[in-house]
């Protein structure tokens, strides 16, 4: 179990965070969720259960647009839950799609399926009486939502690359194995949501009885595509292949993007390269990166509890040596690899197995029947006839994968008829991303998803004005500094500060290997668009061949490069 030495490197006087108490007292994540579920007086979950349902993949929310009106009427907020499914590698079968489509349509307040930046989907607006049915529906088609939130290892990402099918299949299998290996062992989920037999408390040999100090994120990545944004993750297995066969992984530890406005002890940070391990050590390494973080991570201050801070507190070398000691494995010298891009490859591609794969752009990942585009109906109609599978990308898009040649035409027709293929989308639109933010996210300080379409149009106009309409900037907007839309790896990232007010960060690169730096603080649209207008103008006329916007602003010294986050990010 955990050999966490209270505060050895952290504040020796401080008390543990309250989340530690609630995990300890939760009886392995059971709490009193079942009793709460029967309580009709409130639509919400009370006391510790509000946090504990997260470990089961749900967050309590309410629609912030209608909150003031309900308060005026002396009604409690319209409590509901958001559910996030566990989908290692983002692969979902057509029959599963049809089931989630039906549930979204019939039993959620918003009717949408929301693809996330971590290769899964969310339902928003599930009212209490429908929660158990939802889990049972998911279970009936082989989906669960265990550990997609809370202080555990989350949904494991894997590069969606159906083209090199063999390598991808192997990498995907590792993503699924790592996900299983690091899952909580408690039976709480089955007992509460699936009417499973009641059991006594459980052992958590990997996570420990108080689980991890904070959320933990893992990827399996196939270079040269860094679509999963490794530097947003605590633990990354970068695939190394020889003659098209996977032989092992370079292991990158300690990435993460969140910060708190005004708190210089928080910062986005890239992952450190620990070295190469052959395949057979993968699970041991995963287990012991987790176990060291479990035991050394800060359980006093949740704002400094993620692996990135543990590395900066103890030193990356000390952390790595402890992983080697516990796993009984020495990291070898890293094998060479390169990330060259991270966008999705839209349109059709043919895999080495002769199957065809269609990547479609889903703005903000929001699958819904919009007045001008019936995206949800289109996906449903495709699922009704599709013989392959769907893959959700880490850029909130969707791949209709494994299509035999004789079905290509019919799928393309359906996609076009329902707006899933739209040739008018610019490169800029396809390179832009936002987090959910308002109205469902309780932490949003400014709009993101609802603002993105307008911002894209304005950015497209600036590119056109400077004669570079065919080019793009990796542009990301987030409603607060938690950074769920990964603005802290964008070439231009807007981070919400207050209604209509953002910080503008510049200088990430196209490969996703550089953290951007603050350029403008707490400004409104006019100010940041004027700044972008000037900088895009300079970029268009002064850039080197094919130089990305982020590289340009660094080369020109418009912002300083962030090399070591701890010292450079706030300097």
- Give the Cα separation of 430 and 433 in Å (integer): 8
Stretch that binds ligand SRM, among 96-104, 327-335, 409-417, 432-440 (CB under 6 A): 432-440
**Does residue 441 touch ligand SF4 according to CB under 6 A?**
yes
Distances in Å between the Cα of 250 and the Cα atoms of 159, 218, 308, 493 are: 15, 13, 18, 28
| Residue 29's binding partner out of ligand SRM, ligand SF4, none, with CB under 5 to 8 Å set by partner kind | none
Stretch that binds ligand SF4, among 183-191, 436-444, 460-468, 556-564 (CB under 6 A): 436-444
User: Rounded to an integer, what distance in angstroms lies between the CA atom of residue 363 and that of residue 488?
Assistant: 20
Nearest to 491 by CA among 466, 478, 472: 472
179 is an interface residue for ligand SRM by CB under 6 A: no
| Residue 436 beta carbon to ligand SF4: minimum distance, rounded to whole angstroms | 4
Site string for ligand SRM, 208-227 (x = CB under 6 A): -------x-x----------
Q: Which is nearer to ligand SF4, 515 or 554 (CB)?
A: 515
Based on the shown chain and the rule CB under 6 A, indicate whether residue 258 belongs to the binding site for ligand SRM: yes
Closest C-alpha to 236, from 326, 135, 137, 156: 156
Q: How far is CA 433 from CA 93, 114, 174, 536, in A?
A: 25, 13, 28, 19
Distance CA 238, CA 378 (A): 35
Which lies closer to ligand SF4 via its Cβ, residue 162 or residue 496? 496
Q: How far apart are CA 391 and CA 188, in angstroms?
A: 29
| Cα angle 324, 330, 335; round to 5 | 125
**The entry of ligand SF4, ligand SRM, none that residue 116 binds, CB within 5 to 8 Å by partner kind:** ligand SRM
Q: Does residue 435 bind ligand SF4 (CB under 6 A)? A: yes
Task: Give the active site residue among 23, 114, 118, 154.
Answer: 154
Query: Of 85 and 411, which CB lies nearer to ligand SRM in the complex structure?
Result: 85
**Is residue 273 classed as helix, strand or coil in its secondary structure?**
strand
282 binds ligand SF4 (CB under 6 A): no
Which one of 103-111, 116-124, 380-388, 401-409 is the stretch in contact with ligand SRM (CB under 6 A)? 116-124
Q: Which of 86, 187, 215, 497 is catalytic?
A: 215
256 binds, among ligand SRM, ligand SF4, none (CB under 5 to 8 A by kind): ligand SRM
The answer to whether 158 is a known catalytic residue is no
- Considering only residues 31, 150, 248, 483, which one is a binding residue for ligand SF4 as defined by CB under 6 A? 483
User: Applying CB under 6 A, does 1 fall inside the site for ligand SRM?
Assistant: no
**Closest CB 159 distance from ligand SRM, rounded Å:** 13
Contact 289, 253 (CB under 8 A): yes
Position 306 contacts ligand SRM (CB under 6 A):
yes
Answer yes or no whether residue 444 interacts with ligand SF4 by CB under 6 A.
yes
477 is an interface residue for ligand SF4 by CB under 6 A: no
Distance CA 546, CA 563 (A): 23
217 is catalytic: yes
Spatial contact of 188 and 56, defined as CB atoms under 8 Å apart: yes
Q: Which one among 26, 440, 459, 565 touches ligand SRM, defined by CB under 6 A?
A: 440
Interface with ligand SRM includes 271 (CB under 6 A)?
no
The kind and range of the H/E element at 60 are strand 58-61
d(CA 450, CA 436): 8
CB 497 within 8 A of CB 570: no
Phi/psi of residue 171, nearest 5 degrees: -65, -40
Say whether residue 229 binds ligand SRM (CB under 6 A): yes
437 contributes a contact to ligand SF4 by CB under 6 A: yes
Find the catalytic residue in 214, 355, 480, 497: 480
Q: Which of 120, 132, 126 is nearest to 190 (CA)?
A: 132
- Could you confirm whether 435 is annotated as catalytic? yes
Answer for the pair 193, 135: CB distance below 8 angstroms, yes or no: yes
Closest contact distance (angstroms) between CB of 366 and ligand SRM is 9
Selection from 563, 474, 570 nearest residue 515 by Cα: 563
- Pick what 478 binds: ligand SRM, ligand SF4, none; C-beta below 5 to 8 Å, kind-dependent: ligand SF4
Q: Kindly state the DSSP code that residue 341 receives in the 8-state scheme.
A: B
Q: Around Cβ 401, how many Cβ atoms within 10 Å?
A: 23
- Exposure letters 328-363 (e unless 16+ CB within 10 A, then b): ebebeeebeeebeebbbbbeebebeeebbbbbbbbb
Neighbours of 522 (CB within 10 A): 12
Considering only 269-277, 376-384, 413-421, 443-451, which stretch makes contact with ligand SF4 by CB under 6 A?
Answer: 443-451
**Candidate list 484, 486, 497, 510, residue with the active-site label:** 484
Name which of 149 and 382 has its Cβ closer to ligand SF4: 149
Tell me whether residue 441 is one of the annotated catalytic residues: yes
CB of residue 215 to ligand SRM, shortest distance in Å: 6
Q: Element (H or E) spanning 2, and its range?
A: none
> Which one of 441, 476, 497, 517 is the catalytic residue?
441
Distance separating alpha carbons of residues 160 and 168, to the nearest angstrom: 7
188 binds ligand SF4 per the rule CB under 6 A: no
Backbone angles phi, psi at 132, to 5 degrees: -65, -40
Termini Cα distance of the chain: 39
Candidate list 54, 214, 217, 517, residue with the active-site label: 217
CB of 303 to ligand SRM, least distance (A): 7
Rg (CA), the chain: 23
Among 485, 496, 507, 508, binds ligand SRM (CB under 6 A): 485
> Does the annotation mark 497 as catalytic?
no
Q: Judged by CB under 6 A, which stretch of 130-138, 206-214, 395-403, 442-450 contacts ligand SF4?
A: 442-450
Phi, psi of 272 (to 5 degrees): -95, 145
Is there binding between residue 484 and ligand SRM (CB under 6 A)?
yes
Catalog residues that contact ligand SF4 under the rule CB under 6 A: 435-437, 441, 443-444, 448, 478-480, 482-484
Q: Which residues are catalytic?
A: 84, 154, 215, 217, 435, 441, 480, 484
Catalog residues that contact ligand SRM under the rule CB under 6 A: 59, 61, 82, 84, 116-118, 120, 122, 148, 154-155, 215, 217, 229, 232, 256-258, 306, 365, 396, 435-436, 440-443, 482-486
């Amino acid at each position: 179990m955990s050999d966490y030495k209270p505060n050895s490197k952290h504040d020796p006087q401080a008390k543990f965070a309250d989340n530690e108490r609630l995990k300890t007292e939760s009886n392995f994540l059971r709490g009193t969720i079942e009793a709460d579920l029967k309580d009709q007086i409130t639509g919400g979950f009370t006391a510790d259960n509000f946090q504990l349902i997260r470990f089961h993949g749900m967050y309590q929310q309410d629609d912030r647009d209608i909150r003031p009106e309900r308060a005026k009427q002396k009604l409690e907020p319209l409590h509901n839950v958001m559910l996030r499914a566990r989908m290692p590698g983002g692969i979902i079968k057509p029959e599963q799609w049809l089931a989630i489509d039906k549930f979204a349509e019939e039993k959620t307040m918003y009717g949408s399926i929301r693809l996330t930046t971590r290769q899964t989907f969310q339902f928003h607006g599930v009212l209490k009486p429908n929660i158990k049915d939802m889990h049972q529906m998911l279970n009936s088609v082989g989906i669960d939502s265990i550990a997609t939130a809370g202080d555990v290892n989350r949904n494991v990402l894997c590069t969606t690359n159906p083209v090199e099918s063999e390598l991808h299949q192997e990498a995907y299998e590792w993503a699924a194995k790592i996900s299983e290996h690091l899952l909580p062992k408690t039976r709480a989920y089955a007992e509460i949501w699936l009417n499973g037999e009641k059991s006594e408390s459980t052992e958590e040999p990997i996570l420990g009885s108080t689980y991890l100090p904070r959320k933990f994120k893992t990827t399996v990545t196939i270079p040269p595509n860094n679509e999963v944004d490794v530097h947003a993750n605590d633990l990354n297995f970068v695939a190394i292949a020889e003659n098209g066969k996977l032989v092992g992984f370079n292991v990158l530890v300690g990435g993460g993007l969140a910060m708190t406005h005004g708190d210089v002890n928080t910062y986005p940070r890239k992952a450190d390269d620990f070295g190469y391990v052959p395949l057979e050590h993968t699970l041991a390494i995963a287990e012991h990166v987790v176990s060291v973080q479990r035991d050394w991570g800060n359980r006093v201050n949740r704002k400094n509890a993620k692996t990135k801070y543990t590395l900066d507190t103890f030193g990356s070398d000390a952390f790595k040596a402890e992983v080697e000691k516990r796993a009984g494995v020495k990291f070898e010298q890293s094998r060479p690899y390169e990330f060259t891009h991270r966008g999705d490859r839209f349109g059709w591609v043919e895999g080495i197995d002769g199957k065809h794969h269609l990547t479609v752009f889903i703005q903000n990942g929001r699958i819904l029947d919009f007045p001008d585009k019936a995206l949800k109906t289109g996906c449903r109609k495709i699922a009704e006839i599709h013989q392959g599978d769907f893959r959700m990308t880490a850029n909130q898009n969707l791949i209709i994968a494994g299509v035999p040649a004789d079905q290509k035409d019919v799928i393309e027709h359906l996609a076009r008829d329902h707006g899933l293929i739209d040739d008018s989308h610019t490169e800029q639109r396809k390179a832009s991303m936002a987090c959910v933010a308002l109205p469902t996210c309780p932490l949003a300080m400014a709009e993101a998803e609802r603002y993105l379409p307008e911002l894209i149009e304005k950015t497209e106009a600036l590119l056109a004005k400077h004669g570079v309409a065919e080019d793009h900037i990796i542009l990301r907007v987030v409603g607060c500094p938690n950074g769920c839309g990964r603005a802290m790896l964008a070439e231009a990232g807007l981070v919400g500060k207050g209604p209509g007010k953002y910080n503008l960060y510049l200088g990430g690169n196209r490969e996703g290997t550089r953290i951007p730096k603050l350029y403008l603080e707490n400004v409104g649209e006019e100010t940041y668009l004027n700044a972008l207008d000037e900088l895009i103008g300079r970029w268009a006329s002064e850039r080197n061949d094919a130089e990305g916007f982020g590289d340009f602003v660094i080369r020109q010294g418009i912002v300083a490069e962030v090399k070591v986050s701890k010292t450079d990010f706030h300097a």
